[in-house]
Each structure stands twice: as structure tokens, then as C-alpha cells.
Amino acid sequence: MTKISARNIYKNYGAVEALRGVSLDVAEGEIHAVCGDNGAGKSTLIKILAGVEQPDQGELLVDGAARRFDSPTAALKAGLATIHQDLAVAPDMAIYQNIFMGAELTRSVLGLRLLDKARMRRESLGYMGQLNDSITDMNAKVNALSGGQRQAVAICRALRWNANVVILDEPTAALGVRETEQVLQLVRSLKRAGKTVILISHAMKDVAALADRVTILRTGENQITLDGGDLTADNLAHYILSGEVNRVH
């Protein structure tokens, strides 16, 4: 299990101050949501954790050690996998091909390197079984899957890269009620599997149902962190709308 800290992060885009001294502390094995109104800086913070952007100032700590991710690959190697809203799945390809995309397993036959499809299918089924054991045909094309099932494929790819931290960017946006419930189950399965989960979401109900703690950002700064009994959909909406920084009981 892995814990993640971002300390005093600053990030400007030209004249825009997207992050102004933001900190985030994610304990190992917890589901930690990042919320806030449009433009609060959520995506920028997540891009920094994912190695897509680099901070102007501040530091990232993975299990207490300072790290800098110059690329998404560097973040992935450190065990942080980000699942963006577009999921980056190839709809015309099979589930197992998506899970092993860019990291295909091969075997040697008479000196030739051939794809080891049987092993990829078997291992894919193993990853999928940790998340959603109703998806069993690893040959199925992704375009035949529901939005929630596609999310499962994208998460399996993160598991295949041995990610200990899974960052989910708006995983329930654009999903119906039943699919949203499937995704909530996926996230709970990740936690059961010992993964640390960072969740960016505008869906207050989903956040309240899932998160152990929530960090709320406002115009590039930390507003408040909620946990326990304070973490309700009503409270989240209240703080995001009001901008209040003190707890109201």
C-alpha cells in the first residue's frame, strides 16, 4: 500500500495561477476524493500526480520519499496510474488486448517471438476477477461493453502495470444510475485489493458514498478537508457553494 503527499504545490499557466500552495495527504489504502467548483485546480493537481504537468514549486512524496514525475511513464513506474475520463480504451479491440496494450506478453516458438494470447487472456481474467467477476469473456470487444464495464477494463490495465495508487478522473460522469453503481463497486473492489484511490468528482452523492476523506479546493487553494460524519453530500455541496473554511455542525 502506498501513501501520497503533495506539499505546497504551485502551478501557473502563463498568467493563470491554477494552484497556489495546495497540499494533499492521501493515506495508504484510503479512498480520497478531490472536489471543488469548476476551475478550482483539481485537474491540474491530478495532472501533476500523473506526471502530465510539473509543479512550479512544492514537492510530491510517495511513501515519504520526494519524487518528481517528468512523464506519465515515470508516475506509472512509481506505481501511480491515472484513468482519465476518456478511458483511452480501443473499442475495436478485445478486453485482453486493451489490458495488455503496450505491454504485450510473448512466448518463444522455434526462435520466433509470438504473442502469448492464452496467458494474456488468463491474466486478464485474474485482474478482472478482482473487480467484476461477471465479465468473463476476455475476447469480447470493448465496444460491446457498457460504460461501467469499460471503466473496469481501464482499471485492469492499471492493475496490470502494478499500480498501487489508482487515480480516477470523473469516473461516473456521463454514466446512468446502474452503471454508476457498477463503478462505485469497482472503486470499493480496488480498496479491498489494498489500492490507494484518488477520486476526482463533481458527483457529491458518489463521493459521499465512497470516500474516506475529501479535500476541497477553491480557486487554487485548499478550502477544507472532510471525513467521518462530516462527509455527506449535503455538507460537500454546502462547502463548495459557500466557500466556508470552518466546519459547521
CB-nearer residue toward ligand ATP: 90 or 173: 173
Minimum Å gap between C-beta 75 and ligand ATP is 17
Identify the residue among 40, 89, 145, 165 touching ligand ATP (CB under 6 A): 40
Identify the residue among 29, 36, 147, 148 touching ligand ATP (CB under 6 A): 36
Q: Are 99 and 127 in contact (CB under 8 A)?
A: yes
Amino acid, res. 181: E
Question: Of 145, 101, 141, 95, which Cα lies nearest the Cα of 121?
Answer: 95
For 10, list phi and psi in degrees, rounded to 5.
-115, 140
Cell of 159: 492493475
Cα 24 off chain centre by: 15
CB-nearer residue toward ligand ATP: 44 or 182: 44
Identify the residue among 23, 27, 28, 39 touching ligand ATP (CB under 6 A): 39
By CB under 6 A, what part of segment 4-33 binds ligand ATP? Answer: 13, 16, 18
For 64, list phi and psi in degrees, rounded to 5.
85, -10
Question: Candidates 35-43, 71-79, 122-130, 229-237 — which segment interacts with ligand ATP by CB under 6 A?
Answer: 35-43
Any contact of residue 174 with ligand ATP (CB under 6 A)? no
Question: Candidates 36-44, 62-70, 86-94, 115-123 — which segment interacts with ligand ATP by CB under 6 A?
Answer: 36-44
Residues in the chain: 249
Taking CA atoms, 210 is separated from 17, 68, 185, in Å, by 30, 29, 9
Residues contributing to the site for ligand ATP (CB under 6 A): 13, 16, 18, 36, 38-44
